[in-house]
Amino acid sequence: MEQAIHGVREQYSLLASMVRRQELFVPMLGIWVASFGGALHAPVTTYFQVEVGASTAQIGNFGIIRTAGVLLVSPLYGWLLDRRSAYLPAVLSAFCCTFGCLMHGFAPDVAGLYFASVILALGAVNFWNVVGAYVALATPREQRHVVVTGFQVQVATLRLVGTSLYPAVDSLLKAVGIEQKLLRYRIHMSECSIFCVFAFVYLVVRFQPAAWVEDEDRTGEPRKAEQPVKYSQIMLLLVTSVIQTFGETVDCCDM
């Protein structure tokens, strides 16, 4: 019990630090709103693609394109981060995520869905990877295990909350007279775009990357003993992941 309380306190301190430090708050705000916005339409994404006209095989192709894009483009983003240019990879990946999301929601046909998948493959998941790596590198070495866990916990929590709100939002749309499935699905998809556009513009205008926190062995000073990853952080991450997975499964079954 004490470990659990200590783990929660560490995560609260991390969150407070992210909010307080402008160089961390700006990119993390982008992650927070993009995670929440993307989760709002997560339960309906496949149904939207079917309504547009995509077959089961084509829906599988969309996933292949995005996965291949992540594998091929991730090294480029890593190289840019190694060059200490955190601004460029963060903005570039956020742009691809935002533009791809817009194109996906407004896609008139299957060709439009393919085009959106290509754009998303160039950014999307890489945005989370870039910001997560940047925040870890801008944090002292002894705190990085908390950052890695905290990043995943925050994203998982926001995705769970966003996904859970889908039934309420869909019921509201039906209550105001929007019964056509495709139109209703497009509105759900556009909810993500609103959040993503806000995050992208804010990132472009306000992001000023911090300098990396150098490892002690690279500065010529004696290296401190590495702190083991705390059991409380591992348990917190596992519990959050299980809850998120269960929540997404329930929402999908409700469809």
> For residue 149, what are the contacts with CB-CB under 8 A and spacing of at least 6?
11, 229, 233, 234, 236, 237
Q: Is 224 left (phi over 0), alpha (psi -120 to 50) or beta?
A: beta
- Alpha-carbon distance of 122 to 128, in angstroms, equals 12
Per-residue pLDDT band at 224 (split at 50, 70, 90): very low
* Coil/strand/helix, residue 230: coil
Give the tokens for residue 143.
């705190």
Q: Which residue has the higher pLDDT, 104 or 221?
A: 104
Global pTM value: 0.80
Encode pLDDT of 2-15 as tens digits.
Answer: 666 777 788 888 88
Is it the case that residue 144 has pLDDT exceeding 60?
yes
Are the beta carbons of 15 and 149 closer than 8 angstroms? no
pLDDT in tens, 197-213: 888 999 999 999 887 66
Please report the domains of the chain, with CATH numbers, ordered by start residue.
Answer: 2-211+227-248 (1.20.1250.20)
The alpha helices in 42-164, defined as continuous H runs, are: 45-52, 56-82, 87-105, 110-122, 125-137, 144-164
